[in-house]
Structure formats: C-alpha cells, structure tokens
Structure 1
Amino acid sequence: MLRRRVKRRDVLLLMAGVAMSTTRSHAQKPSMPIIGYLCPESPELFASRLQAFHQGLGEAGFVEGRNVKIEFQWADGQYSRLPALAADLVARNVDVLVAPGGAPVALAAKAASATKPIVFEMGGDPVQLHVVDSLSRPGGNITGVSSLSVDVSPKRLEFMRDLVPTATKLMVVVNPTSPTAQSQLQKLHAAAATLGVRLEVLGASKEDEFESVFAAATSDGAGGLVFTSDPYFAFRSSRLAALAMKYRVPAITQTRDFPIAGGLMSYGGDFMQSHRRAGIYAGRILSGEKPSDLPVQLVTKVELVINLKAAKLLGHPFSSAFVAGADEVLE
C-alpha cells in the first residue's frame, strides 16, 4: 500500500508540475506577433510613411491591434540615438525589426542583431553600404526595399541647370554625416563637369544650419541650390521650402514634400511605394518566410514634381517642355 501511495503521489506531483509549466508558457507567450518599428524621426514627421507601411502590412494580412502589435522607438531627428533604440527593440524580443527612413536606420538595426529578422527601407545602395551581400541574395537576417534615390542626385543638378541655363555656379547641400555623402558628391562633380557648371559644396547636418546655407546662396550669387538625397533633409521639407521663398533661391530636393510645402521642385523615388513594400515584407516574414529568401526590392519609379506658383514667385517660370515632362504639376 505504501508503495502504491508513493507512486500515486509522484504522479500527482508530476501532473501538477506539467500544469504549472503549461500555465507559465501560456502566460509568457504573446497573444499576437510583435513588430519593432525603429524610426529616425517623430510620429508627426513620419505619419505619411507609416500610413504607407500599414497599407502594405494589411496587404500581407496583418492589421495593428487585430493580429499584430507594433512597438515604436522614435529618434526625433537625433540619429545618434538609433543604435541604442535598435538594441532596446531587440531586447524586447520583437518578432521582426523594421528599419525605415534611410541608411543610418538600417545600419543601426543590422548592428543590433545578427539573428533577429530585419526589414529596411532606404534610398541608398544596400550592397555598397554593406547592409546586404547582394540584392538577389541578401543573406543573413536582413532584407528590404531601396529606391536608390541617391543615384538620381546628378539628375537634380541637370534639372536646376535647365531651369537656370545662364547660371555658371550652383550650390550643392550635403549632410556630411550621411553614409552616402561622398558617393553622391563624386557623381555630382562628374555631372557638373559634363554640364559645364561650377559647384560649391555646403554642409548641413543640423536644422539650425539651414538658414546660413540659403543666405550663402544669395550672397555668393549661386544660380540655385541642389540638395543631395538625405532623410534628414527630406523630413524637414517645410522648413527648407520656407527658407527658399524667404531668400528667393531656386532649390530642388528629393521628396515631393518640398514642392507641396511651397518649394520649387523635387526629383526622387516614390517613398509611398517603398514604405508600402516594407510593410508587405514585414508581413511575409511574420507569416514564416525568411529574410535571406526575400530579394531586396527596388522601387524604380522616380518622379519630378514642380510648383508653378513657387516658380512665378522666384522669377523662374518653367518652360512648356519642363511642365510637360513633370510627373505632377502643382498650381
């Protein structure tokens, strides 16, 4: 009898232990997958991009609050915070880390984890920046979307030269902290030599440096300002547009946000499509696909957006041919 009671007690204890273990595992397991969203800016500045990401995520079958949770980290324009914010999201054990908004975000995410699935969105060349091994076979734990908008900076120079054909000097504004700064400048200098125009390069990596750039363009008699592709510039389009009109300087940037805010013109990739596709990739990874099996997608569409009212105020009206070649004309 004693032996039977001992056996029964052992079985009961074992059953209790299994029940406790099962309860504990259910308590620890999240009710839905979690996306970690690493953003270089503030929610206000990133609203349109985030909307496009949600659209793509929905196309992949995921809706925030219904069957996926998103945890955000916002750098608020302080890009030096990105590595720590990326590490924090990795520590929260998110299922996939999304790194949109440029090369600095992608590089911070990649440095934070060699195993956590990562989806980036950028305008630079992810192979040249050593983010992936190749576009078709990214390898490792990271893939994403690129508009390759840094490659069209010389075309912005050409558009400015077409608008101001008598200009002998144009100014280029570059963010010296950008990982793509030097490659863009090399291409711009080559384009300037072909166009027969002299370039003066000005650096700006902080918002309080913007005004001195426009003031210099006015005082030095530059025909116009050409901004390199850089997320820090793109997300401050309203400020740049206001300064361009204040100093009456023709300027071109990479994003349509600039002419929409009252600036002259923009030429660059379609950011709505690149962020939407990042959302689709995040959803596909949550559904079980591996980043290494998903080739880097290229958003090849680039768009020229012009603002006729700004051109009139600046005294540089667009020719009929220029207007005909624009993808969008703002009245």
Structure 2
Amino acid sequence: MERRRFVQFLGLGLAMPITAARSQGRRKVPRVGVLWHAASEEQEREYFTVLMQAFRDLGYVDGSTAEFLHRYPAEQIEKFRQFAQELVDSKVDVIVSVTIRGTMALKQLNNSIPVVFVLAADPVGLHLVESLARPGSTMTGLSLMSEDLSGKRVAILKEAIPTLTRLAFLMDPSDPNSIQSAGARSTAQARGIAFADVPVAGPDAIEPTFARLAAEGFGAALVGGSMFFNERARRASRAEQQNPHHVFHC
C-alpha cells in the first residue's frame, strides 16, 4: 500500500478541527486515535514506523503539530471494543482502525468521529459504507476486494492443480474479514470443485485441521483472517508437510 495515498484518507478528518480553530483566531492541535491489532508498538514496529513517518511527511508530528493516542488490543476481542470506546470517549478528531474487528466496534459505538479503516474484505457487505464510490456516514478506507478476488484465486488454483476436486476454505469464525466465501464458493462450484467452509477455533487447532483435511482428501486450501496471518509460520509449516504449494492466503 502506498503510504501517502493511505494517509490522504485522513486529510478531511484532520482538516476540519484545524479550519474551525483558525476561523476563531487560535490553533488547535488535531488528535488522532489509532486502534492497532497487536500488543505493543514494538510488535507493530514496521507498520507503526511507516504510518508515523507518513504523517510527519504531511506535517503532523506527534507532540508538536498533532497528538496521537495509540491503543493495542493484542488481538483480544473484548479489548477491541474497550479501546474503541476509550478513543470515542476521548473525542479525538479522527480514528485510524487497523483491523476489521476494531472497525466493527467503532461502527457500533460512534456516529460522529471520522474513521479510516486500513483494510476491509467487503466494506459494503459488512455495512461499513453505503458504496465504494460514496461511503457515506463517518467511515471510509481501503477495500481488499476479497469477494471479487476470491473467485480469481480459485480459478488460479484450478489452473495450477488441474486435478483439484476438493477445496477447503479455512476461516476464523471471530474475524468478519475471514468469513466472506461466497465468491470462492460459486467459482469452485462452476468448475466442479467441492467446496467446504472449515472453521478453525484458534491457533492450536491449525495443525490438527490440516491433518484432517489431508486425511479427507482435500487437494488445496484457501485461508484468511488475522489469526492465520499471525500464525503464518505455523500454518505454512503444517501445510508444507501435508500438501506442498497448495495453500492460498486470502
């Protein structure tokens, strides 16, 4: 993702308080809330560094020309809502939401503060925005276009594995980004591939799930959601043991 392009989404939310303050003859420092997904700045280091540098490039320097309130929920579902509420109660001028869980919580709790979500599988289908062209309300951000792309991923898998007859879609039931499979299912069925949604309850279930899929004759798997990203080393290792090169991350 081009960092400048992403941060430009924040411009409207930040510009409003500055413009209002100048009209009253004083300068207000904009306050930006950021709802992350990991447990600390260190765990978010690569993304944290890029985001904060992009803000600095646009003139928003933490502690000088802007104030940033960072919250780290450590992928704990209850903390997403807790920290979303904290940011709303803090009356920040704009909120950056890094994960779909945080975005869904903010959607429920807030109807006045602009929210920029980093990535959403299907923002229209999840009722975050009215349309991609005209988001409406207080939400905007970037779409993964997962529903459009998921069918293409199935088509690529079929090209790579002409003998593919059974395909599993591994999903994290607690992650809204992970449960969008309609596009993949319809493409699979059109190509004569049996398609199965396979919920994976947690990281410890990854290894036994892959073992079961191999035993049941699945030729490939699509995986999606933050859990599978966080556990990518474990997931890749197990998939390699069971079925080399036949796993596609959504």
TM-score by length of 1: 0.60
Compared with structure 1, are the counterparts of its residues 133 and 167 closer, same or farther at alpha carbon in structure 2 (3 Å cutoff)?
Answer: closer
Deviation at 1:127, TM superposition (A): 2.3
| Letter of the 1:157 counterpart | V
Q: Counterpart of 2:153?
A: 156
Q: Please, which runs of 5 or more residues in structure 1 have no aligned partner?
A: 1-28, 255-331
| Letter of the 2:31 counterpart | I
8 Å CA contact 1:173–1:201 kept in 2: the answer is yes
Per-residue CA distance 1:257-306 (angstroms, 9 max, x = gap): xxxxxxxxxxxxxxxxxxxxxxxxxxxxxxxxxxxxxxxxxxxxxxxxxx
Q: Alignment partner for residue 247 of structure 1, among 242, 246, 249?
A: 242
Compared with structure 1, are the counterparts of its residues 247 and 47 closer, same or farther at alpha carbon in structure 2 (3 Å cutoff)?
Answer: farther
Per-residue CA distance 1:51-104 (angstroms, 9 max, x = gap): 332343234322334422322211212223211110012222322211112x32
Q: Counterpart of 2:91?
A: 93
Compared with structure 1, are the counterparts of its residues 152 and 247 closer, same or farther at alpha carbon in structure 2 (3 Å cutoff)?
Answer: same
Compared with structure 1, are the counterparts of its residues 204 and 57 closer, same or farther at alpha carbon in structure 2 (3 Å cutoff)?
Answer: same
Q: Alignment partner for residue 128 of structure 1, among 103, 107, 125?
A: 125
| Letter of the 2:184 counterpart | L
Q: Counterpart of 2:167?
A: 170
| Letter of the 2:159 counterpart | D
| Letter of the 1:140 counterpart | S
| Letter of the 1:98 counterpart | V
Q: Counterpart of 2:19?
A: none
- Equivalences, count: 223
| Letter of the 1:195 counterpart | R
Q: How does 1:140-289 map to 2 (within 5 A)?
A: 140-180=137-177, 184-228=180-224, 230-249=225-244, 250-254=246-250
8 Å CA contact 2:173–2:201 kept in 1: the answer is yes
**Cα distance between partner residues in 1 of 2:76 and 2:147:** 21
Give % identity. 26
Q: Please, which runs of 5 or more residues in structure 2 have no aligned partner?
A: 1-25
- After superposing on structure 2, the runs of 4+ consecutive aligned residues of structure 1 that deviate more than 6 Å are none
**SS of equivalent to 2:101:** helix
**SS of equivalent to 1:35:** strand
Query: Alpha carbon RMSD of aligned pairs, Å?
Result: 2.6
TM-score by length of 2: 0.77
| Letter of the 1:40 counterpart | H
Per-residue CA distance 1:286-329 (angstroms, 9 max, x = gap): xxxxxxxxxxxxxxxxxxxxxxxxxxxxxxxxxxxxxxxxxxxx
Deviation at 1:30, TM superposition (A): 11
**SS of equivalent to 1:172:** strand
| Letter of the 2:197 counterpart | V
Q: Choose 1 or 2 for highest CA Rg.
A: 1
